[in-house]
Amino acid sequence: MGIVLHALAAAGYAVLAVVAWRAVSSHPEARAGAAERVGLALVLLVHGIAVQQGMLGDGDLRLGFALGVSAALWMGLVVFWGESLWIAIDGLRLWLMPIGAIATLLVLLFPDGRVIAHADSGWLRVHLAISLSAYAMITIAALHALLMASADRRLHELSTDAAVPATRTGQVLARLFDAMPPLLMLERLLFRLIWVGFVLLTLAVMTGIIISEALSGKPLPFDHKTVFTLLSWLTFGLLLLGRQVWGWRGRIALRWTLTGFALLLLAYTGSRFVLEVILHR
């Protein structure tokens, strides 16, 4: 059932991407209509049930590379849907809908996962829920940072009168960037996502210490997951400190955001990808 629902969600995101593209083609600054918002809410409902079925559908707690990515993107898209009701960030749907489709299709390509031991532990379930939420916020923040870096580069090219390619691909990219919100609004949203992600990551580290102490007697086991998670937490902490004390913004903030995300990626998804997809373990 989880596979079927993921396929339906992928189709829904693809349809919404086409609808959004047609709307922006005629009016680059047009906001999503009520029907489009309801459609996204329904797709998110299907996607959420798909994640629940994939993780808990057979009675066990199961998690894998593709399912983790799908769950993270689902949580991030839920945040986007909520934020878009209050802030004019609808242009981001041109980027996020295709990404949502790709994330859900990954589960069809790599459906295998592993059963999580000690799944009957309430603390473990809380830890996994918080960890996935933190991963979702930071993943969306990283995608957000990549879009901001691309938009900043495009503005720099336009300000220096650099030639914009007249190819169809160049025209498509120009239209996508024209539909994006202003950079200052994107930057405020980026740091809001980072703050939420940092708080959740802090809670994930704290609950992880409790779980590790209860199951193995070691509060912080020295393994790659612990090391990269703590490095990611430290990176985002320093970024937020730099924002408050030294006013970090722009490209400095984008580099720190992507560095912190890369470290968090190595902590879990990267290792699971190598084990499940490359080594088939």
**Tens digit of pLDDT for each residue in 141-196?**
888 888 888 777 777 666 555 555 555 555 555 666 666 677 788 888 889 889 99
3-state secondary structure the chain: CHHHHHHHHHHHHHHHHHHHHHHHHHCCCCCCCHHHHHHHHHHHHHHHHHHHHHHHCCCCCEECHHHHHHHHHHHHHHHHHHHHCCCCCHHHHHHHHHHHHHHHHHHHHCCCCEECCCCCCHHHHHHHHHHHHHHHHHHHHHHHHHHHHHHHHHHHHHHCCCCCCCCHHHHHHHHHHHCCCCHHHHHHHHHHHHHHHHHHHHHHHHHHHHHHHHHHCCCCCCCHHHHHHHHHHHHHHHHHHHHHHCCCCHHHHHHHHHHHHHHHHHHCHHHHHHHHHHCCC
pTM of the model: 0.76
Tokens of 277: 């997809």
Confidence (pLDDT) at 266: 82
What does the domain layout of the chain look like in residue ranges? 1-116, 118-281
Of the candidates 16, 6, 23, 3, which has an alpha carbon nearest to the alpha carbon of residue 176? 23
**Tens digit of pLDDT for each residue in 254-276?**
899 999 998 888 887 655 554 54
Confidence (pLDDT) at 144: 82
Confidence (pLDDT) at 178: 65
- The rounded average pLDDT for each run of 10 residues, N- to C-terminus, in the chain (281 residues) is 90 92 70 84 95 79 80 87 77 84 90 65 77 85 83 68 53 62 81 92 89 74 81 95 90 90 79 50 54
Average pLDDT over the chain reads 80
Confidence (pLDDT) at 101: 94
C-alpha span between 156 and 7 (Å, rounded): 40
